Amino acid sequence: MQSSSFGFRHSIVILISAFVIPSLATAATPAEVSAAAIKAVSFYHSKAAAHGGYVYRYSADFTLREAEGIPGPDTIWIQPPGTPAVGMAMLDAYEATKDEKCLAAAVEAARCVSRTQLASGGWDYSGHFDAKGRESKLYRRDADGKLIPRTQTATREAGWHNWRRQEKNNYSTYDDDVSQAATRLLVRVDHALGGKDAEIKEAADFALHTIIMTQYPAGGWSANFDDAPTSPPSADKYPIKPGNYPADWPRKWPKDFTGCYVLNDNTHATLMSTLLLAWQLRGDQKYLDAAKRGGDFLVTAQMPDPQPAWGQQYNAEMQPVWSRQFEPTAISGRESQAAMWALLKLAAATGDKKYLPPVAKAITYFRTVLLPGNQLARFYELNTNKPLYFERGPGGKGFELTYSDKKASSNYGWVWDSELDALQATGSQIARGEKAAFPRTEKERWSSPPTDKDIQTILAEQNPNGSWPVTDDERGVMRDANGKKQKPAGGVIYSLDFTQNVKALSAWLKAKGGAK
């Protein structure tokens, strides 16, 4: 068993690699990379934007659009890799190239986001600019950015006991980094503009205020809420308690989510990252304090032995509970790794090493339950450490819990790549007082930082118009308005590819000292 401490470890690594002489004729120059990034942003902004916003993918002629389903022409997507992700890539390009067209595109994306912010203070997965769509939602602004006068919408206590009713016209979500990504775009663009755009600044201010107001006394958050609280949830209803095991738990979905604290899909970690960004760019202590409360929650929510890790969601008693019918009461491998990264980032930002021991203890535990191929189960049964899976129920309906992955349903990631070595290495750097290098923790195509070879590949794959169309059978297919599969002539253009490529080009340029 490996030590749980982040002590300095000497190791001898023998690298055997092919000796390749780089071709100076094909090496990219900063000027070429800068031009490619600007061209990509200009193309996407001029061709793909609707009201300054974006969806997930487009046919190369832009007659087809897709997100989660088929959005209308005036619907944009907030959930990454939608509008906020695209806007932040454009802002990356501006910071690397100083090209004003890139900044203008990012500003339009930020205004699109501000005009789809709900009165509850956050965002739904998508936003609407058609009259019918806007009437169905309680947006804070009209389509031109003017604040809509409203009486205070919060008429109930803050907390899951009321939010679980989910008023659909004012439904904000932290699930899948939705409201967090929108907030980060607003904060970054506001910073780039020096606070001079009143609409963007006010929307960012209110979004950050909402994140703080929806934080529980223990420091956690629910996945969604449907009004803007005037004060955080009450400590009387949500006392601070340590993580603990329920006496028993149902093996079948109880058809109800009784939990209030959610880590699923890195919700908690991205909220902490958003607060740290706000503190770093604005220097306001209240954002750091809220991020610290988020870290304190993770310390408190860590389960005791024999499984010192984290659940995917907890009830008010700080016990893991079911969520959807394939998300059981369990220890979660993926969400635990996100929790560890969040604690390490907080430790690095604050210099407070109290956040390191919980990470070290969790690493030691997870090394004892690794699956073949250096992977972790998404779910481990409480107390037994048996990996849990789900297969389809009779007739292909519903889900049934099982201990075997032989017939596991394909709708979910049941195993996750282990990041334990990277976590331990980063924790050791922080413990030694060194500047921590945080590697990527989610899969992306390019290295971090991108290599010269990565950049050459991106440039080679870029079309003359600045796009990166995909034509292969798997990703080169879309659905039309009737749901019929089509293989568009010229291929499919993905927002995910745009954001990853432009981010990589921008990171490479910054590492080289910017455009020249």
Quote the pLDDT of residue 473: 82
Domain membership of residue 19 (yes or no) is no
CATH number at residue 433: 1.50.10.20
Domain membership of residue 5 (yes or no) is no
Average pLDDT over residues 303-309: 98
Same domain? For 422 and 363 the reply is yes
Quote the pLDDT of residue 17: 35
Domain membership of residue 8 (yes or no) is no
Domain membership of residue 200 (yes or no) is yes
What is the value of pTM for the model shown? 0.93
Same domain? For 284 and 233 the reply is no
Same domain? For 166 and 307 the reply is no
What is the C-alpha separation between 330 and 4, in angstroms, rounded? 23
Same domain? For 232 and 253 the reply is no
Last residue of a domain, one of 389, 413, 443: 443
pLDDT digits (tens, 9 = 90+) for 375-395: 999 999 999 999 999 999 999
Same domain? For 236 and 106 the reply is yes
Omega before 449 within 30 of 0, i.e. cis: yes
Q: Which amino acid is at 213?
A: M
Quote the pLDDT of residue 157: 86
Q: Per-residue pLDDT for 2 more than 50? A: no
Question: pLDDT confidence of 447, banded at 50, 70, 90?
Answer: confident
Domain membership of residue 3 (yes or no) is no
What are φ and ψ of residue 493, in 5° steps? -110, 125
Same domain? For 322 and 425 the reply is yes
Last residue of a domain, one of 385, 413, 443: 443
pLDDT digits (tens, 9 = 90+) for 327-353: 999 999 999 999 999 999 999 999 999
Average pLDDT over residues 239-253: 96
Domain membership of residue 52 (yes or no) is yes
If one counts the domains in the chain, the total is 2
pLDDT digits (tens, 9 = 90+) for 4-23: 444 433 333 333 333 333 34
Same domain? For 428 and 455 the reply is no
Question: pLDDT confidence of 257, banded at 50, 70, 90?
Answer: confident
Q: How many CB atoms lie within 10 A of CB 221?
A: 24
Higher pLDDT, 167 or 300: 300
Last residue of a domain, one of 392, 425, 443: 443
Q: Per-residue pLDDT for 164 more than 90? A: no
Question: pLDDT confidence of 152, banded at 50, 70, 90?
Answer: low
Distance of CA 494 to the CA centre of its chain: 18
Domain membership of residue 382 (yes or no) is yes
CB 283 within 8 A of CB 277: no
Same domain? For 458 and 515 the reply is yes
Same domain? For 377 and 452 the reply is no
Q: Per-residue pLDDT for 36 more than 60? A: yes
Q: Per-residue pLDDT for 156 more than 80? A: no
Q: Per-residue pLDDT for 361 more than 50? A: yes
Same domain? For 319 and 181 the reply is no
Same domain? For 369 and 454 the reply is no
354: domain range?
A: 249-443
> What is the CA angle 30-32-36, rounded to 5?
115
Average pLDDT over residues 90-116: 98
Distances (CA, A) of 109 to 41, 44, 187: 12, 12, 12
Lowest mean pLDDT among 23-27, 100-104, 335-339, 409-413: 23-27
Average pLDDT over residues 131-159: 89
What is the C-alpha separation between 352 and 431, in angstroms, rounded? 10
pLDDT digits (tens, 9 = 90+) for 215-245: 999 999 999 999 988 899 999 999 999 999 9
Distance of CA 287 to the CA centre of its chain: 19
Same domain? For 432 and 490 the reply is no
What is the C-alpha separation between 193 and 197, in angstroms, rounded? 7
Domain membership of residue 351 (yes or no) is yes
Average pLDDT of the residues of the chain: 92
